[in-house]
Amino acid sequence: MPKDKYYVHCAVQKILCELRKKIDISVVNFWTDGAASQFKSRYVLCNMTYLKKQEIQASWHFFATSHGKGAVDGIGGEVKRRARLAALSGEARVQNAKEFIQIVNKKTERILMIEIENECVEREREMLNGRWDGIDAIPSIQKNHFFETVDIDVVTFGLHSRVDITETHQFRGSENEETEESENEMEPENVPDELESEYVSKENVGILKDLKIGDWVKVRYEIDNKEYPGEVITIGENDVQVKVMVRKFSGFFKWPIPEDKIFYPVSAILAKISLPEPVGRRGQYRFPEIP
């Protein structure tokens, strides 16, 4: 089952349902990474505003790119450890997701695992398509990390938190300033569905279309605005996971420890490049395309 915007909707609703069995909910703050294929898109943020119908005030915080490991990663490691120990001891057979969830929920009371069934996703698909039909893209969504509900179909957003809020966006009928289209740019409606950069060059879109796992690309990292070489690990509808090298000194690169795997938006994929050329015996490489 793809972990897409439909899956995220069902996951949120199931989690809220479980929480309501224990506490009253009036405010929800979401914290996730910024993968556009899963969380950081107009569709998921528009959907967040509909929690108003459940009398919930919601905001969404996106971790910065290359934020490292967090509490969620720790929980994931713990449930895998418990399931692995149960399987090794012969206490349980873990052959599918349902059996995995059952054994983990049996082994711990502090972590609750919930199964998202494909039938749930398909049942909600038509309703969500109607909700999302014709909604407007959020300008500069990739540059901002905090979004908060104002009303249904309306969010306000800023760079890092509530104190940085600078803009309000209406998903329907918004009157954004028109930007003159240059010969190197194309409107969001003409690029792959869910691509959330305000404007993306035609060259970027062409790179994504021809890209495959194992290719090498040159990417631009948004934090330091520098270029890095890397190998394509996974390809989403609108972002690409790349395992990048770091610069050792001018013209030479090496693999970092630990590995640096990051989801980059299409606008950050600058070009396909040649395979790395080994230099010496110390794990150094160079690329003709990156001086």
Confidence of residue 208 (pLDDT cuts 50, 70, 90): low
The yes or no reply on domain 185-286 and CATH 1.10.260 is no
Compare 212 and 263 and report the one with higher pLDDT.
Answer: 212
Over residues 67-90, mean pLDDT: 79
DSSP 148: E
Confidence of residue 193 (pLDDT cuts 50, 70, 90): very low
CB burial of residue 150 (10 Å; 0-12, 13-18, 19+)? middle
Residue 140 has pLDDT above 50, yes or no: yes
Rounded CA gap, 38 and 7, in Å? 8
Domain segments of the chain: what residues?
1-175, 185-286
Contact assessment for residue 156 and residue 54, using Cβ atoms and an 8 Å cutoff: no
Per-residue confidence (pLDDT) for residue 200, from 0 to 100: 47
Residue 249 has pLDDT above 90, yes or no: no
Question: pLDDT by residue (tens digit) across 10-37?
Answer: 999 999 998 988 899 999 999 988 777 7
Over residues 233-238, mean pLDDT: 77
Rounded CA gap, 191 and 201, in Å? 9
| pTM: predicted TM-score of the whole model, two decimal places | 0.61
Over residues 274-283, mean pLDDT: 86
Q: Would you call 115 helix, strand, or coil by DSSP?
A: coil
